[in-house]
Every structure is written in C-alpha cells, then in structure tokens.
Amino acid sequence: MANPSTKGSKSGFVARRQWWGLFFVLPTVVFFLVFFLYPMITGIYYSFTDFTLLKPPTWVGLQNYQDLVKDRLFLTSIGVTLGFVLGSTLPVWIVSLLAALLFYQKFPARELLKLLFFSPVLPSLIVVAIVWRILLHPNGILTSVIRLVLHVPEINWLDSPTLSPLSMILINAWTIIPFYMLIWLAGLTGIPQELRDAARVDGATFSQSFLRVELPLLGPTAVFIAAISTINAFQAFTLQYAISPNRGGPIDVNTTMGLLIWKYGFQYYRMGDAATVSVILFAIIMIVTIIQLALSRGDQYSLN
Amino acid sequence: MHKQLTPVLLFCIALIVAVIFFFPLFFMVSSSFKAENEIFAAPPHWLPHEFQGLRQYQTGFQAIPLVRFFFNSTLMASIDVAVTVFFSAMAGYGFAKFNFRGRRWMFYFVLATIAVPFQILIVPLFVQMRRFGWDDTYAGLIVPGIMNAFGVLMMRQFAYGIPDELLDAARIDGAGEPRIFWQVVFPLLSSASASLAIIIFLFSWNNFLWPLIVIRNELYQTLPVGLTVFTQPHTTQPQWAVAMAVSTLATLPVAVLFLFFQRYFVEGLVLSGLKG
C-alpha cells in the first residue's frame, strides 16, 4: 500500500486529508453509476418485460427467454457467433505470434516493414468494410488474382453462404493480427536478453530456446490475447453489419448475436427481446472467460 | 555464410508479409485517384492509368455532407480525449495515493465496467437517452462514452510511481490538494496522458456502434456512420472511386497521428489491449 499510515495522535490531519481521494474519484464513480450500473440493471429488467418503443415495459417473467429458445433466428445467431469466434481466436493467436517472432528478429528495413504490417490497425471498421467489398467483389482485384491462381471461373465471396462467413473471419483477421502481434512483441521484449543468452551458451537451438525459455515466460501475454480475442470475437457486429448483404445475410449466415441485438432493438424496436439477447450474450462471454482463466491457471501451474 | 543468409531470408519473408497486410490500404489510396471504370479493370490496375487528381475527392464532398461529418467526429473525439484524460488522471491519483473509506469497493466497481462489453448496454442506454431527451443530440452522442475505466487503471498504475515525498513536500509548502494534483501530479502523468489521449482518439474517431444507434439526424452523424452509404451499393449508384477517396480522408487523421506519435500510439494500444 502506497498510503501513509493513518495511526498515531497527529493523524487527524492525515486522516482528513484522505477524503480528498474521494473527491478525486467521485466524478468517475458517479459517471459509471449513471451510464453503466443504471443501464445494466434496467437492461436486465427489460429482458423480463414486453417492451417496444411504442408501449412501456410490462412484466412478463421468463416469457422472452422461453420464446428465444424457440426462435430460429436466435438459434442460428448462436451458431454464427460461435463459428466466427472459433475462426477468430486460435488462428489469429497463432499467426500473430508467428508475426511477432518474425519482427522480433534483426534484419534490414525491419522498422519500415513493421510499419507497413501495422497499417490495418488504423482505419475504422467501416473503411475496412468498404475497401474489402471492392477487393472481394467478383471482379475485384483480389478475386481476379485468386481466380488466376486457382483457375476457377467465378468466386462470389460475399453472396455465397459458405464463403461469406469465411470472408468475415479473414477480413477481421487482417485488421486484428497486427494489433495482437504488437502485444506479443511487447511480451517478447519484456523477456531479459540474459535468459536467452544463457540458453544459447548452454547450447540450446533457436526452437529449444523458444519452447523452454520464451514461451513459458510469455504465459501471461498468451492468456491475455486468448481472452481479449475471444471477448472481441463474441461482440462481432460492424463487419457483418457493413459488408454482408442485407445486414447479416445471405440467409442469415452472418447474423451474429451482436447483429441480432441491433436487429431486434433498432430495426424491429423489440426492446425486450433485444435486451434478452444482450443478457444471454453477456452470460456466454462471462462463462467462456471464466473457463479460459481457470484453464490458463492450470496451465501455468503445470509449467512450473 | 549461414550467418549472412539468415537476415536476408528474414527480410524476404517480412517483405511478403508486410506487402500482404499493407496492400488493402495501398489499394484504397491508389484507387482514390483512379477513374471509376478502372476499379474493376481486368487485368487489374495497380496504379491509376487515368490519374484523376483530386476529382474523386471533390465529388465526395458533394455526395455527402463530409465537412459536417468531419466536424462532428472531431468534436466527439476532442471532448472524449480531454474529459477521459483529465478525469482518469484524477481518479487514478485518488485510487493510488489516498486511503478513504469505500476506496476498495469503488475501485472494484470501476474495474467491473471493463468486463462488460458495451454492446450489452446499447438497448437500455438508448432508452435512457430517450428519457433524458438526448437521442439525436450531441449530448447523447458524446456523454455516454466520455469516460473509460481502462484510463483510470492506466493512470492509477502510473500514479503509484509518484514518490510520496514529493507530494508531502508540496503539502509542507502549503499547497492545497487540488493544486498539488494540477501542478505536481498531472504534469508527472504527461507521458501516460499522451498514450491515453492517442488511444482514446483512435477509439472515438473510429467508433461506430453507439453513433449508429443514437443519431438519426444527418447533422449530428460522425464519419464512420456517414460512410455507411458506401457499404450498401444496392441502394445508390455505386461510386467506388469516390468511396475510396472518402475512406482515405477518414483514415488520414489517424495515420498522421500514428506517424508522428508512434511510441505513444503503440504504448497505448498495448496497455489497453483494445481495438475499437
């Protein structure tokens, strides 16, 4: 604890001073009470009500939850979300690690190449969506090149029910891999050079040194990236909203739970249903995160 | 010989990787100078064959109220940055250096706000905005996103590093607590503030979900939402080259910021673990 001790006789002055801390944190706490806790509680309440913007919420108990379990679109959206999460976690985790290992080495023009590699982090997801719409257009530049390589007559990335979820995963990977690479790189840089040198002196090859020295020390970074990539992927919304035909199509293969919240809430104004999907999505994210943290704790233990 | 070959090999691999990842943005900028019929030309035009100058940019300004969108995005981002940095520094300092009753619970509460994705809150928050009469206003657009718990965490971490002796010396000199914060603590947090400011700018500038929901009136729309007209070309005559010009403009402020403040940019991103 960095705080001065508050015991002793001359402590009245010091104790009174501590209240200034409350003064400093109060604006933030009040803000989160009004714009976080209050909507959080009302959101849970709305999930138990029949509520459209035209009529005030009326209590219906678990009705919304029971309806959703039978709701085809909702069940589809769970599958769509899980598919996107699977494609956007482990592959991204591995590729970003490989990229970090690459840019951690010494070679000519490294900083410039890293700069170029990093560029997808900058544009907003809407800009990303517009650019990739053109690249993946049936006559787009990327499709043309791929068609040439694979010798296929036509590829319709975004309108095909099988290819378009894959496109979402690829585009998302493109924007997010450089960002996770950066976090891996920060983790790698934090490992003292002496440890690596010691391993080399002991005759370890590069792969041995990586597996035995770097990887265990990267443990916290690995867990961190696994956790945030999962949480981010569960919230998938913007790409699906902006790229897929009819906002989530074709035939709803891109309707993630995040998109469904928007659809129910702001397209159909079914606020009760939208709130229910929100609560369920939140519960899923919480459960998955807790499982991940529990597993990772076991992992670190076994490494010792 | 082996020792010399490795850097060259690594360079080649890195070059390929970098080109793949940089290509979409290169294509965006290059296409913003192309004629419309060049975008889907076969064989592809890597660079404009009929260089258009700033024509597509001019058309962009005529097609959508771009100046207004820029103004709104700038307004939102600047207010977000100023408020988040100032109040995060205050709260971070309060949590790090004072021992008042309820401190621990308040800190856990702030921490908990990070664990809840914003998406979960959009429905009740939108209803709340309507109650306040804030839907379709600058207040509704800006206020709900104006604080960020991650900023508090970051500032708290940095505030721990400030020596207590320094604060006590200022107290002995008779400085009041608000003055100590403003004249001693806040300047010491300037490096952290720079990282936080840049990262909040990036989030705010690229923020999409909340502006999409709370704003209907074009007058208050921000750039990302304003650009959505180009994502659904079935509704209007597609103007892909114009879309590329407008996208380039929207990305420019972030790119400039990145080039000039790379260190703070990267530090902020790593510390936040978030990308908007």
Residue A6 within a domain: no
Q: What is the pLDDT of residue B3?
A: 56
Residues A101, A131: one domain? yes
Q: What is the mean pLDDT of residues A55-72?
A: 91
Average pLDDT over residues B175-194: 92
- Most B CBs within 10 A among A105, A128, A141, hence the mutation to make, goes to A141
- Domain annotation for chain B: domains and CATH numbers: 64-272 (1.10.3720.10)
**pLDDT value at position A298?**
56
Domain match, A207 and A280 both: yes
Beta bridge mates, A175: none
pLDDT for A2: 43
The residues near A125 (Cβ < 8 Å, ≥ 6 apart) are: A175, A238, A239, A242, B206, B208, B224, B276
Q: What is the pLDDT of residue A262?
A: 95
**Average per-residue pLDDT in chain A?**
86
**Which residues of B are less than 8 Å from A109 in CB distance?**
11, 15
Write down the pLDDT at residue B57. Answer: 92
Q: Kindly state whether residues A45 and A146 are assigned to the same domain.
A: no
**Where among A19, A42, A64 does a domain terminate?**
A64
Residue A154 lies in a domain: yes
Q: Do A211 and A281 belong to one domain?
A: yes
Q: How far is the C-alpha of A135 from the C-alpha of A158, rounded, in Å?
A: 11
- For residues B126 and B213, the answer to whether their CB atoms sit within 8 Å is yes
CA distance B5 to chain A (A): 10
- A74: domain CATH number? 1.10.3720.10
Residue A189 predicted with pLDDT over 90: no
A31: pLDDT strictly greater than 90: yes
Q: Give pLDDT, residue A86.
A: 95
B135 membership: H or E segment, kind and range: none
Cross-chain Cβ contact B266/A24 below 8 Å: no
Per-residue model confidence as pLDDT tens digits over A203-251: 777 677 777 777 778 888 888 888 889 989 999 999 999 988 888 878 8
In a domain, A2, yes or no: no
Report chain B residues whose CB lies below 8 A from the CB of A268.
none
Q: What is the pLDDT of residues A83-132, one digit of tens each?
A: 999 999 999 999 999 999 999 888 888 899 999 999 999 999 999 999 99
- Cβ <8 Å between B109 and A134: no
* Residue A5 covered by a domain: no
Contact A28, B87 (CB under 8 A): yes
Q: Are residues A140 and A48 in the same domain?
A: no
Q: Which residues of B touch A178 (CB under 8 A)?
A: 21
Summarised one tens digit per residue, pLDDT across range B253-274 is 999 999 888 888 888 887 775 5
The domain of A33 spans 11-64
Contact A153, B54 (CB under 8 A): no
Give domain status of residue A104, yes or no.
Answer: yes
- Based on the fold, state whether residues A59 and A188 are members of the same structural domain: no
CA B77 to chain centre: 7
Average the pLDDT over B23-44 and give the result. Answer: 88
Does residue A56 share a domain with residue A75? no
Start-to-end CA span in chain B (Å): 46
For residue A212, give the DSSP letter: I
Residues of B in contact with A245 (CB under 8 A): 234
CB-based contact A35 B147, cutoff 8 Å: yes
In a domain, A3, yes or no: no
Lowest mean pLDDT among A181-190, A273-282, B97-106: A181-190
With beta carbons less than 8 A apart as the criterion, state whether B194 and B158 touch. Answer: no
Cα radius of gyration rounded to whole Å, chain A = 25
Specify whether A195 is located in the same domain as A125.
Answer: yes
For B120-158, letters b (16+ CB in 10 Å) and e give bbbbbbbbbbeeeebbbbeebbbbbbbbbbbbbbbbbeb
Please report which residue ranges of A33-124 form alpha helices under DSSP H: 38-46, 63-69, 72-104, 110-118
ipTM: 0.90
Question: Cα–Cα distance between B213 and A274 in angstroms, integer?
Answer: 13
Helical axes A38-46 vs A271-303, angle rounded to 10°: 120
Clarify whether residues A33 and A150 are in a common domain: no
Q: Are A212 and A99 in contact (CB under 8 A)?
A: no
Cα B111 from Cα B225, distance rounded (Å):
30
pLDDT at res. B252: 95
Is A23 in contact with B116 (Cβ distance < 8 A)?
no
- Do residue A56 and residue A143 come from a single domain? no
Q: Are residues A45 and A107 in the same domain?
A: no
In a domain, A287, yes or no: yes
Mean pLDDT, range A276-302, rounded to an integer: 81
- Which of A3, A123, A275 is opposite residue B123, by nearest beta carbon? A275
Answer yes or no: is pLDDT of A149 > 80.
yes
Note the pLDDT of residue A157: 86
Question: How far, in Å, are A154, A158, A164, B75 from residue B27 at the CA level?
Answer: 22, 19, 21, 29
Task: Give tens-digit pLDDT for B208-266.
Answer: 999 999 999 989 999 999 998 887 655 555 688 899 999 999 999 999 999 888 888 88
Q: Where is pLDDT greater, at A156 or B29?
A: B29
**Do A126 and B231 meet the contact criterion of CB atoms below 8 Å apart?**
yes
How many structural domains compose chain A?
2
Q: Are A254 and A200 members of one domain?
A: yes
Q: Could A130 and B94 be called an inter-chain contact, meaning their C-beta atoms sit closer than 8 Å?
A: no
In a domain, A134, yes or no: yes
B124: preceding bond cis by omega (within 30 degrees): no
